[in-house]
Amino acid sequence: MPKTRKCALCGREFVPNSGTQKYCSEECAEQAKEVKKKRQRDFLRAFEPVMELQQQEYLTFSKAAILLGCTRQYVYKLVEQGRLPASRLSSRMALVRRSDIERMFDANPYNRVIPCSKPKKTTPKKQRTSLRKNTNDVQSTDEVLEYYSGEEVMQTYKVKQSWLYASAKRHQIPMCRIAGRNYYSKKHIDAVFCTSVDLDAIVDWLTPQEVADRYGINLTAVRSYAHRHKIPSKREYGQTFYSQSHFDELRRTDLLADENYYTVEQVQELYGLTKANICHIVKVKHIEKTKVGRINLLLRSDVERVMAERKTAGF
């Protein structure tokens, strides 16, 4: 059976007449010659501008980009960074020397860049020895000896698994994995999740919605208010709770039912004054004022004394 061969142009199988025959017919051979000539013409057409530019000493930014094989914007960037000198002859003409381009390449040899590597800072020998001693001391004193399992942390501090992972990553808590379970450094976990306030001594807790309803605070402002006044809080399974006793002490809701204080609305009803008049009298006569949430409370004895003085004066 005669050996067959695939045509290098059309891909059809044919029986070659010689060992060097590549094409199945004369037509394919002529087409292959035309394709080869076209490639040569395209190569010369593309390489001809570069050959002409190599003979020129002064280049525009566009021609410099062709010579470098980059964009014109990158040439502007090199000039702006001061890496490539350029001369501006007019408002629309700027030139670059070809010798400056070659000098730029000579001044910047290739250096291998290893990914994720940072240059090491050179330190004197004395500092190196002291640093080694300090690191050895830290390693000896900061050895992690006790661990919490992930389940123990979630049960002890009542946190979710996602919150535990996020906190461990944020605070760089030492962790090890044994038999498919994560174990966290007990000392670091206690330092992150424990607070300076004894939370077990606080009995009553309120959710943010309950705080907003009870004390008349906007729900979106509860967190910032508690942080500003350092009210103890805890987080259990994704829900935040705030100490009720600290809120009561700060907001003093018991004063609302105290007979020794008037609200501004009560003063308006009793003496027929507007809010602007009451505000002016409180400021001028130095009436003791206490703010409970959004409500202003005025000391009853001061209000009655000032109103009696106004009555005798004929107001």
pLDDT at 133 over 60: no
Q: What's the pLDDT score for residue 136?
A: 52
What are the pLDDT digits (tens) for 233-278?
777 777 888 887 777 777 666 666 677 888 888 888 888 888 888 8
What CATH number is associated with residue 227? 3.90.105
Q: What's the pLDDT score for residue 281?
A: 86
pLDDT at 294 over 70: no
Does any domain span residue 22?
Answer: no
Does any domain span residue 146?
Answer: no
Average pLDDT, the chain: 79
Does any domain span residue 24?
Answer: no
Q: What's the pLDDT score for residue 124?
A: 59
pLDDT at 293 over 70: no
Residues 202 and 176 grouped into a single domain: no
Mean pLDDT of 28-41: 90
What are the pLDDT digits (tens) for 198-246?
556 676 888 888 888 877 777 888 888 777 777 777 777 778 888 877 7
Please give the Cα distance from 131 to 136 (Å, whole number): 9
Select from 106, 134, 165 the last residue of a domain: 106
* Backbone region of residue 72 per phi and psi (left: phi > 0; alpha: psi in -120 to 50; beta: other values): alpha
| Residue 125 structure tokens | 């020998």
pLDDT at 114 over 70: no
User: Which carries the bigger pLDDT value, residue 139 or residue 153?
Assistant: 153
Does any domain span residue 76?
Answer: yes
Instruction: Give residue 211's Cα distance to chain centre.
Output: 31
Q: What's the pLDDT score for residue 75?
A: 92
Q: Which amino acid is at 58?
A: Y
Q: What's the pLDDT score for residue 113?
A: 54
Number of domains in the chain: 4
What CATH number is associated with residue 73? 1.10.10
Does any domain span residue 86?
Answer: yes
What are the pLDDT digits (tens) for 35-86?
999 988 888 887 777 777 777 888 899 888 888 888 999 999 999 999 999 9
Residue 44 near residue 51, CB atoms below 8 Å: no
Please give the Cα distance from 270 to 264 (Å, whole number): 10
Residues 243 and 289 grouped into a single domain: no
Please give the Cα distance from 229 to 33 (Å, whole number): 88
Residues 245 and 283 grouped into a single domain: no
Q: Which amino acid is at 290?
A: T
DSSP string, 199-212: GGG---EE-HHHHH
Residues 211 and 242 grouped into a single domain: yes
Q: What's the pLDDT score for residue 37?
A: 92
| Residue 159 structure tokens | 């946190």
Domain range holding 273? 259-313
Q: What's the pLDDT score for residue 106?
A: 87
Q: What's the pLDDT score for residue 116?
A: 45
Please give the Cα distance from 284 to 84 (Å, whole number): 74
Give the CA distances from residue 61 to residues 87, 90, 310, in Å, rounded to whole numbers and listed in that order: 11, 14, 87
Residues 61 and 78 grouped into a single domain: yes
Mean pLDDT of 107-119: 61
By three-state DSSP, how is residue 178 classified? strand
Residues 274 and 308 grouped into a single domain: yes
Report which of 106, 99, 71 is spatially closest to residue 85, judged by C-alpha positions. 99
Does any domain span residue 126?
Answer: no
Residues 189 and 212 grouped into a single domain: no
Residues 189 and 202 grouped into a single domain: no
Please give the Cα distance from 70 to 62 (Å, whole number): 10
Does any domain span residue 245?
Answer: yes
Please give the Cα distance from 35 to 29 (Å, whole number): 10
Does any domain span residue 122?
Answer: no
What CATH number is associated with residue 298? 1.10.10.10
pLDDT at 144 over 70: no
DSSP state at residue 254: G
Give the CA distances from residue 261 to residues 289, 290, 310, in Å, rounded to whole numbers and listed in that order: 9, 9, 20
Q: What's the pLDDT score for residue 196?
A: 47
Confidence of residue 126 (pLDDT cuts 50, 70, 90): low
